[in-house]
Amino acid sequence: MTRRLLTGNAAAAWGARLAGVDYVPAFPITPQTEIIETLARWFDGGEMRGRLTMLESEHSMVTAAAAAAATGVRVFTATSSQGLLYAMEMIHAVPGWRVPFVLANVSRGLATPITLEPDHNDVLAARDSGFLQIHCASCQEVHDSVLIAYRLAEDARVRLPVIVNLDGFYLSFTREPVEVADPAAARAFLPPFTGRGIEFRASRPVSQAAAVLGGSQYSYFRYETHLAALQALPAYAEIAAAFAEAFGRHHPAVEAYRSDDAEFVFVMIGSFATKARDAVDRLREAGARVGLVRPRLLRPFPAADLRRHLLGKRGIAVIDQNLSFGKGGVLHAELASVLYGEPGAPLLASFIGGLGGRDFAPEEFYEMIDVTRRAADSGRAPEPRLLYTAGELREMRKLQAIAAVERHEDGAGKP
Amino acid sequence: MYRIRFHGRGGQGMKTASCILGDAFFAEGFEVQDAPRYGAERRGAPIFAYVRADRAAINERGIIARPDLVVVADDTLVTVPAAAVLQGVGARTVLLICSNDDAATWTARLKRDCRVLTLPAPAAPEAGQAQAGVGALCAGAAAALVGVIGRAALERAVAAELAAHGAPVVARNTAQALAAYDALAAHQGLVSAGGAVDAGARAPVDWIDLAAEDAAAAAPDIHATATSLKAATGLWRVMRPVIDHAHCHKCSWICSTLCPDSAIAVDADHAPRIDYDHCKGCLVCVAVCPSHAIRAIPERGAAGAVP
């Protein structure tokens, strides 16, 4: 097994190649474009068999992906940020079709203001859609997760589309050592998809996704989708175990890093979680009992695993790289909902950081543990904290001063 | 862990530099992470790329705040605030600048306590030739300075990274990389691997509470008009289009219409004029001019060549 340096985008493309996908409907957007460029080159060069089609928008792209999946072929697609939002009508519609496919989302902060670098408000906008979500922290995980995602999506208990999420820039354009699976081993883990009853054909018309009225039948179908998503929890555990057996890398639904004997724990998702892992090592060197708990699965939400890892701890620093305006961090609220009322529920301290790719300094991780420790000592959860320094505000004030001068000059210049 | 940043302009090969150096470290048995930061995503605009290398798995991620080595491919970037060349440069940092000014001059100019080295700026290309990238040169220089990369690993890394461009490109870049590597032989190992930020004894964090402010100030609006005129995107140019008015047929519309930046205006006498404050040097005009009246010259030292 040899390792090579690959970007997260290339790792995602390799996952799709090794999955032997038949069809890739595509539409480019920064920072995802490299995925479809790579796949297009492979289709063109004959390394991949099947078809890649450029659609006129992400809305059409997701529709095409699901429609193709309904014929029983294996489908891969990818987008990011505003593109995911443009497809949002279909993102919510197609899980109810109960057809499996995989979509790589390269996270990028949403407008406004428009930006390129990552946070998770884009993928969290799809949180309640019925797509399952796997969140990656390394390029190796991106490669592995695409293969795992197909097994999960196609599992008879599940049959739902899966989003594999990787952060723009910090994974998408970052090369790391990746062990690309041997094609035969990948095929053994993920045999060609045979449709298993999913076989829409023009010669045998089926009206899929019919209309219902009155709410009763609607409730049935919607709750069935929810139950299918919940069944993805045991299915995922089995598939991750099979993956570990085949490739020697274990990707549990929840990564628990040095958390068993920890008093205080970071909880976060995505690639910046590796920085938290680093902070855990440094804090341990300084004598603090600290760990990291990182959900890889966000949908379905691995509630039981999180309870198992977090109940009995003194305090949790929940780091949200997202912001629900008028509420706060999404992960914080989700975590509170699975811990509230449980015996041994730890104190939760909420931190908002990494918006639009804003960096985390190592000292900030250490400080978050200090804040959480003080809160646990006092028994009161602190106010949510935006990671934002006096130096950052000073720079902002400089820009605002320029804007004020512009406004003044603009106004003065008008009759 | 080694933490290295390459600063240059789009088109100079800074991403290539980070890939070559990353490959070379990886071949020497290091764990590696390398990445470009594209900035404005335009030729000539400031860009940087970075490499981390360590014997253990790398969990650090994102931009490098405390570099051990900063390589600057284009010395005009040092004074561009958006390029942030000197960000995090401290006493242990080695700063290597491709410049025709010497290290003592730069040390006096910058007034930083870092170690400054220079390499001669790459020569301007021959007339009619595109500016060659300097990525391999920067990677070769960095490989020498860290002192843990052999000549053979560097050579293989250049070949691996540029093989798709053909043998002549590989040969030219290999020569460039090895020349820089050899030129810095006296400084082998000058750059040392930096440590982690100690969790026990650390600087305080100066987080502040943001206050709610009036929406008029708290919305990301630009009130001034014609602000794009104020951005001197002409600084991004690597090659400069020059109109030979003796050959211009004054068709009056082709170059000016097809210029993607509206940087070519037409005079009352139908002669096109290039706005060099905003021309980014894409050379579309050079390609489309039917009478071949627009040529391209290297930007470096071109000021005297403007008609």
> Residue B28 sits in a domain of what CATH number?
3.40.920.10
CA B213 to chain centre: 38
Say whether both B79 and B142 belong to one domain: yes
List chain B residues with pLDDT less than 50.
305-307
Please state, in angstroms and rounded to a whole number, the distance separating the CA atoms of residues B227 and A54.
35
Please state, in angstroms and rounded to a whole number, the distance separating the CA atoms of residues A79 and B220.
26
Q: Do the bridges between strand A385-386 and strand A347-352 make them parallel or antiparallel, or are there none, so unpaired?
A: parallel
| Number of domains present in the structure of chain B | 2
- Tell me the domains of chain A and their CATH numbers: 3-247 (3.40.50.970), 256-390 (3.40.50.920)
ipTM attached to this prediction: 0.94
Provide the pLDDT for residue B43: 79
Say whether both B156 and B10 belong to one domain: yes
Q: What distance in Å separates residue B64's CA from the closest CA in chain A?
A: 10
Give the residue with greater pLDDT, A139 vs B204: A139
Asked whether the predicted pLDDT for residue A62 surpasses 60, the reply is yes
Chain A segment 138-177 residues within 8 A of B by beta carbon are 169-170, 173-177
Provide the pLDDT for residue A413: 47
Please state, in angstroms and rounded to a whole number, the distance separating the CA atoms of residues B82 and B96.
19
Q: What distance in Å separates residue B50's CA from the closest CA in chain A?
A: 9
Q: Do the bridges between strand B69-72 and strand B94-98 make them parallel or antiparallel, or are there none, so unpaired?
A: parallel
Say whether both B12 and B161 belong to one domain: yes
> Residue B268 sits in a domain of what CATH number?
3.30.70.20
Residue-averaged pLDDT of chain A:
96
Provide the pLDDT for residue B307: 37
Tokens representing B298 are 């290297």
- What is the average pLDDT across A65-84? 97
Please state, in angstroms and rounded to a whole number, the distance separating the CA atoms of residues B53 and B30.
6
Provide the pLDDT for residue A400: 87
pLDDT tens-digit map of A310-342: 999 999 999 999 999 999 999 999 999 999 999
Whether residue B162 is contained in a domain is answered as: yes
Whether residue B194 is contained in a domain is answered as: no
Mutate to test the interface with A, among B61, B225, B228 (most CBs of A within 10 A): B61
Domain limit, last residue, from B131, B157, B187: B187
Provide the pLDDT for residue A75: 98
pLDDT band, residue A1 (cuts 50/70/90): low
Tell me which amino acid residue A127 is. R
Whether residue B199 is contained in a domain is answered as: no
Whether residue B59 is contained in a domain is answered as: yes
Provide the pLDDT for residue B130: 59
Show the domain range for B252.
232-302
Does residue B203 sit in helix, strand or coil? Answer: coil
Is the CB of B197 inside 8 Å of chain A's CB atoms? yes
A239 phi and psi angles, rounded to 5 deg: -70, -40
Domain limit, last residue, from B187, B217, B245: B187
pLDDT tens-digit map of B162-217: 999 999 999 999 999 999 999 999 999 999 999 999 998 888 999 999 999 998 88
Say whether both B118 and B256 belong to one domain: no
Work out the angle between the directed axes of helices A362-378 and A273-285 (0-180°, nearest 10).
Answer: 70
Asked whether the predicted pLDDT for residue A170 surpasses 80, the reply is yes
Query: What burial letters (b/e) apply to A16-32, b meaning 16+ CB within 10 Å?
Result: bbbbbbbbbbbbbbbbb
pLDDT tens-digit map of A112-134: 999 999 999 999 999 999 999 99
Please state, in angstroms and rounded to a whole number, the distance separating the CA atoms of residues B36 and A175.
9
Provide the pLDDT for residue A206: 83
Asked whether the predicted pLDDT for residue A410 surpasses 70, the reply is no
Is the CB of B205 inside 8 Å of chain A's CB atoms? yes
Residues sharing a CB contact under 8 Å with residue A316, sequence separation 6 or more, in sequence order: A264, A265, A266, A267, A293, A310, A335, A346, A347, A348, A349, A372
Task: Classify residue A389 by its DSSP letter.
Answer: B
Whether residue B225 is contained in a domain is answered as: no
Provide the pLDDT for residue A88: 98
